[in-house]
Amino acid sequence: MSEATQGGTNRLTTRTAVGYGSGDFALNLYWGSLSFFLLYWYTDVVGLPPAVAGFVFFVGTFWDAISDPTVGFLAGRNRSRWGRYRPFLLIGAIPLAVSFALLLWVPPLEGTALVIALLATHLVFRTAYTIVSVPYSALSARISHRSEDRTSLAGARMIAATTGSLLVSAAGFPVVHFLGGGDEQSGFFYLALLAGTVAVLTTWACFLSTSEPFDDQTESGPVEKRYQLKDVLMIVRTNTAFLYLLAMIPLFSGAAAVMQKSLVYYVKYGLEAHEQQHIVLFTHGLAVLAATPLWAWFARRWGRRAAWTYSTAMISAGAVAMFVFEPGSLTGFLLLLLPMSLSFAAMGVLFWSMLPDTIEYGQWRNGYRAEAVFFGFAAFVQKLSIGAIAWLMGWVLSSVGFEPSVEQTELTVTTIKAGMTLVPAALLLLCLVVLSRYPLNAKLHRQIRESLAGGMGNVQSRVQ
């Protein structure tokens, strides 16, 4: 990524790309903790029944999901000397860190009162997370309008995000056991305090390292049409490219969620290697991190569709192999896990580089450039999908007789293994079917950008 200047026809700077990525490093200290640990924390640390734990997880995620479009709408209408989206990073960082500490704190309550308290802290955390994450995601569409830059931004973002998740996965259990003195309940609370402190600093670094060079009227295109709340559904409905991406989100997000959550349970109960959790999670995260720039390069060289197709094929083959063959040892398990880990790296890079392109597609179709609305709806579907997967997992575990911290039946272990392998593969194969109908490609996107730059963006007749 060469050093250059920002702007509509100018090149993306390394400082901006790295600085933007640092925001997702912070967010994934939280997101990685939720993805790998939260359901386990509810069942094996707090002691909730799996079905109850899944329900609490779902309700919190559902609230997060429905708040995303609202925050997106408000952020898109925000105006300040710091831009539309960057102020949310500055102001929201500390409340988010405090709410994360509350999330992993067990109040001195029992029964229904405990469940209500846990649900309340989950809702508070999810609200704070939305206030930071939705504007952060929308910011990429304001940093640059070039498709190539957005792939680079998405690559930098995914590298930073994976690094954050890798840090949590590798250091999470060791930090919990060290700071908690063997008590996982207090250890997770100390982990939350430490992660929140680091996240505040890196979120502020993102704020300081980025800018929003485009406003309502720039050299990049025509004056943007202001939208009202009543326009939001029309803006989304008429953007067919975005609708196809929206349909893909539950499939690839659900695949990643069920794989990550099942992984922790399988290592503990299938491999009986709970003390080596950090080795497995570190290996998985390191493979994702190493593969992220490779998939970004692959997508730039051969296209996003090809990258998505090859990565799905690798995941499916690896999933079948892992389900069929017994690993025999931790090393054997890691070798079977590796193809899936390497391939999952592609999903984040591809999706988050494709989503900003749909914004210009929508502006070309109906004249409205509504970044935060689209990112808000995308986050809504993503989080709703993840919450539904967690709830479903909790229900399934309960139905096959799962009990925390005891020896599991063969049916329970097989169910967990299927959730780690066959379910993600099936969801991603369905995702390819939807992708085959996606109307945008690099050539069409360049033509749309040229049309917008020529002042032809607000053409109502393009709406079908």
pLDDT at site 463: 38
Q: How far apart are CA 55 and CA 13, in angstroms?
A: 44
**Both tokens assigned to 2:** 């060469």
Q: How far apart are CA 50 and CA 142, in angstroms?
A: 42
Q: How far apart are CA 180 and CA 186, in angstroms?
A: 5
Chain-centroid distance of CA 269 in Å reads 27
Give the angle subtended at the CA of 315 by the CAs of 312 and 318, to the nearest 5°: 150
pLDDT at site 464: 38
Q: How far apart are CA 342 and CA 333, in angstroms?
A: 15
Amino acid at 182: G
pLDDT at site 104: 95
Profile the chain (464 residues) by mean pLDDT over runs of 10 residues: 41 82 93 88 92 91 82 78 88 96 93 95 94 87 72 79 86 90 91 96 93 55 56 80 90 90 92 90 87 87 89 93 89 93 86 81 76 77 85 91 89 94 94 90 78 56 40
pTM of the predicted structure, to 2 decimals = 0.71
Any idea of the CA torsion for 26, 42, 260, 384, to the nearest 10 degrees? Answer: -80
pLDDT at site 218: 42
Work out the angle between the directed axes of helices 330-366 and 147-179 (0-180°, nearest 10): 140
Domains annotated for the chain, with CATH where assigned, are 16-210+228-462 (1.20.1250.20)
How far CA 100 is from CA of 24, 97, 104, 121, 386, in Å, comes to: 16, 5, 7, 8, 18
Residue 108 in 3-state DSSP? coil
pLDDT at site 26: 95
